[in-house]
């Protein structure tokens, strides 16, 4: 056993290591129970949970592109009642903090779901999905600092849980949104959500996705995500959960060096559901090999070339 201190802090949430899962890339934790013991994760971030059940978008929902995928799932989920009844009890059987991703069409929607989660004790932190590109009204909040702040403030009013705002890369300057969320009371930021794009099948002369647009994720977006993390790290004081294309432990190290306090494995879970475990072990090993006694020493430790 190494003696590296692996715990990190996201507001009042203590993670036993800096690794969580990207919302929508790990279901509700039970799907991969044969492969991933949840109590090894720093936290589990579950699929988006909305006020009312959502059918999601028609297929085709995912298209594979160079070093990534485009998705337009459309937030298919059973709603907050389904989460509280059927998902949370399973998750609570593990010694693993739960981060619930919450989208909404207006600040009241966000506040309603967070209030229910708080009352039921069914989450340890909430991640505000103000940036899902696949549903109408979803993106708007993360592209306008005042709208983003209004959602954070509405949720801040109804919970003491750590509030994490998930930011979109589809903006001119992500630092402006980050600052607005911090000022409105967010405890942390997560970034980045997917990059909006599309794909066309030239043989059929049709869009590949039924929704036409989708969110690009996977290794293709890692450089975009890293820069967003580094810029925000230098602009706000609250911790950042970095994500976007992590496919191996060294990718996660890059995010921490850029300023992330924690990281999320996302699309990589589709390729290897055990990726998070590999990343946890790999971060610890990196610290041992490079003489870091505390993983927190990696945060923002990148220097000029």
* Closest to other proteins by CB, 26 or 255: 26
Tokens of 69: 């995928």
Q: Which of 14, 52, 58, 301 binds other proteins (CB under 8 A)?
A: 58
Binder among 104, 215, 218, 300 for other proteins (CB under 8 A): 218
Rounded Cα–Cα distance for residues 280 and 263 (Å): 10
The distance of closest approach from Cβ of residue 86 to other proteins in the complex, given in angstroms and rounded to an integer, is 14
149-161 in b/e form (b: 16+ CB < 10 A) is: bbbbbbbbebbeb
- Tell me which stretch binds other proteins (CB under 8 A): 54-62, 86-94, 101-109, 295-303: 54-62
Residues contacting 199, CB < 8 A, separation 6+: 63, 65, 70, 207, 208, 209, 214
Given its phi and psi angles, is residue 46 left (phi above 0), alpha (psi -120 to 50 degrees) or beta?
A: beta
244 contacts other proteins (rule: CB under 8 A): no
Told to check if 69 binds other proteins by CB under 8 A, we report yes
Specify whether 287 is catalytic. Answer: no
Residue 290 in tokens: 């490079």
Applying CB under 8 A, which part among 108-116, 169-177, 188-196, 264-272 lies near other proteins?
A: 264-272
Closer CB to other proteins, 48 or 236, in the complex: 48
By CB under 8 A, tell whether 62 contacts other proteins: yes
Binding other proteins (rule: CB under 8 A), the pick from 4, 5, 27, 94 is: 27
Task: Give the nearest distance from C-beta 63 to other proteins in angstroms.
Answer: 8
The least distance separating other proteins from the CB of residue 157, rounded to whole angstroms, comes to 32
Applying CB under 8 A, the residues found at the interface with other proteins are: 24-27, 31-32, 34-35, 47, 55-56, 58-62, 64, 66-69, 71, 73, 76, 218-219, 247, 267, 269-274
Q: Which residues are catalytic?
A: 132
């Amino acid at each position: 056993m190494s003696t590296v201190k692996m715990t990190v802090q996201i507001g009042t949430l203590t993670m036993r290591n800096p690794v969580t899962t990207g919302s929508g890339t790990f279901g509700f934790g039970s799907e991969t129970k044969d492969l991933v013991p949840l109590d090894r994760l720093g936290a589990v971030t579950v699929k988006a949970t909305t006020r009312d059940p959502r059918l999601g978008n028609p297929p085709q929902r995912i298209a594979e592109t160079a070093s990534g995928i485009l998705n337009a799932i459309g937030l298919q989920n059973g709603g907050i009642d389904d989460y509280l009844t059927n998902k949370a009890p399973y998750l609570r059987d593990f010694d693993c903090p739960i981060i619930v991703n919450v989208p909404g069409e207006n600040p009241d929607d966000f506040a309603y779901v967070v209030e229910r989660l708080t009352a039921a004790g069914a989450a340890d932190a909430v991640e505000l999905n103000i940036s899902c590109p696949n549903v109408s009204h979803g993106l708007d909040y993360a592209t306008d600092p005042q709208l983003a702040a209004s959602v954070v403030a509405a949720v801040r009013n109804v919970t003491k849980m750590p509030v994490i705002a998930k930011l979109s890369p589809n903006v001119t300057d992500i630092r402006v949104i980050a600052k607005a969320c911090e000022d409105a009371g967010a405890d942390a930021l997560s970034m980045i959500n997917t990059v909006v794009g599309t794909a066309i099948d030239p043989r059929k002369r049709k869009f590949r996705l039924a929704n036409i647009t989708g969110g690009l994720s996977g290794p293709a977006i890692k450089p975009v995500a890293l820069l967003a993390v580094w810029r925000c790290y230098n602009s706000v004081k609250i911790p950042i959960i970095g994500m976007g294309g992590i496919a191996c432990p060294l990718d996660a190290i890059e995010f921490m060096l850029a300023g992330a306090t924690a990281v999320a494995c996302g699309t990589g879970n589709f390729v290897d559901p055990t990726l998070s475990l590999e990343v946890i072990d790999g971060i610890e090993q990196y610290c041992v090999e490079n003489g870091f006694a505390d993983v927190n020493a990696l945060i923002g430790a990148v220097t000029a070339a």
